[in-house]
Structure 1
């Protein structure tokens, strides 16, 4: 099994950015992805996000377990889109080019393929950046950065705890899964889909209870230390904004503006090549 989705302390230009910079960049990047279905913009964003992954020195194999679930989600999402709206692309692009008939009312069209390709490209443009944010952001430094830009230190600290807790949830999931499989519960590919869904309850319920127990322990520890009594607090991992932070924010704002301009020029969110 591959490594967990957690912070990796590497030496790269992405790691040197403050946590607040990466959050601001992620927000504008997500907004740019949401406002447009222009294939050219989304394709450029996807390529840029892959380049940023390379620059960060994070290996895709280190998060392959997470990528597997993302790919499964995208496959299910595309099947659901076609099942419930097989002609959404036809309505959007005001044209229809049939490829071949499938079954019943379902006919595969070029416009539907293009529409679903753009939907998938949207995910591919934002997911790498979201993963990059997770694995290159030190939770403590991120909390300090949030507090520096005006976010309450209580909220900032809560966010930091949540980020730290993600790897723990993943470890608990694997430990519980292995323990249940040792008891004879089959979660492998050999079991049918229905059986695996049913058997997953044997993992989810213990995971929920262990998470609630950990939350209670953390809450008690913070209460005993009188967390929240003071209006301000100091941060060991705090870092000021530097030139590279402003450059990174300016770049993603330019991407967001480009998405808005493309939407204006296309007369809507969709780029229509038909």
Structure 2
């Protein structure tokens, strides 16, 4: 996190120099390409390429690790629910039925386990480009970058302010937890069991919500006083012209979609599974 309180991390990499609208376009194309397939081989390659780009961006691990952990934990819980609710869904997709576990006549198949793994890889694929977009895009210039894509400047500012205030919400959450700990509530491992700690964490959501709503009211009043939104269009003080690098990544993003359509049509047409 930068000293300004935003998630933007200063750097001199090629991704820091790209216009914010180009990085948003890259993220959209990467997402479309990802959701075209259900193939672990493609997702593994995309994860390698994606995190290679993160490495080139020179982002410190301690800054991006919380987001990576969140995505991994989300994929694990999602896979667990998938396996519990539809223990034979992978077999229906693959056409093969290999029982891995039989509990109370509920049969969990190897194909479903592999499907859950593939789905987890699919979600993890989204992490690298999301990290690049969030941590290499300066919030102050992001609104003008979105507006370059013909997004209304009102919407552009809303997204920019949301990104800018994520660290503030995180800081406010820490303050609320510290205040609750001073009142005797347990939030740390060893102070109480898991369910009590989860209940205590839920109890901080209401004051966090009230604090966030209060900040929203202050910001909206300040912008209304300045007649924000009066005109349909506006000019930008810090907008920079697109460079050759920006156009290069636009072409690469479009080629990625074209490649995805070709592969989906001719090569990777359905769910790929290692049969057991």
Q: Same fold (TM over 0.5)?
A: yes
Alignment of 1:110-259 (within 5 A): 110-190=110-190, 191-259=192-260
Q: Secondary structure at the match of 1:200?
A: helix
- Relative distance call for 1:5 and 1:165 in structure 2 (3 A) is closer
| In 2, Cα distance between equivalents of 1:185 and 1:193 | 13
Q: Secondary structure at the match of 1:37?
A: coil
Tell me if the contact between 1:38 and 1:262 (Cα under 8 Å) persists in the aligned partners: no
RMSD over aligned Cα, in angstroms? 2.1
- Relative distance call for 1:250 and 1:56 in structure 2 (3 A) is same
How far is 1:17 from its partner? 0.4
| In 2, Cα distance between equivalents of 1:115 and 1:261 | 23
Report how many residues are paired.
Answer: 272
How far is 1:106 from its partner? 4.1
| In 1, Cα distance between equivalents of 2:6 and 2:109 | 38
Alignment of 1:39-58 (within 5 A): 39-58=40-59
How far is 1:107 from its partner? 4.1
How far is 1:11 from its partner? 1.3
Identify which range, 34-43 or 248-257, moves more after superposition: 248-257
- Residue 70 of structure 1 corresponds to 71
Tell me if the contact between 1:7 and 1:136 (Cα under 8 Å) persists in the aligned partners: yes
If the length of structure 1 is used for normalisation, what is the TM-score? 0.91
| In 2, Cα distance between equivalents of 1:106 and 1:249 | 49
Identify which range, 213-222 or 153-162, moves more after superposition: 153-162
| In 2, Cα distance between equivalents of 1:184 and 1:177 | 11
Tell me if the contact between 2:6 and 2:165 (Cα under 8 Å) persists in the aligned partners: no
Identify which range, 161-170 or 23-32, moves more after superposition: 161-170
- Relative distance call for 1:112 and 1:239 in structure 2 (3 A) is same
How far is 1:214 from its partner? 0.1
If the length of structure 2 is used for normalisation, what is the TM-score? 0.91
How far is 1:122 from its partner? 0.5
1:205-260 CA deviation, whole Å, 9 max, x = no partner? 11100000000000000011111223332222211211111211222322233332
- Residue 109 of structure 1 corresponds to 109
| In 1, Cα distance between equivalents of 2:131 and 2:102 | 36
Q: Secondary structure at the match of 2:125?
A: helix
| In 1, Cα distance between equivalents of 2:32 and 2:72 | 22
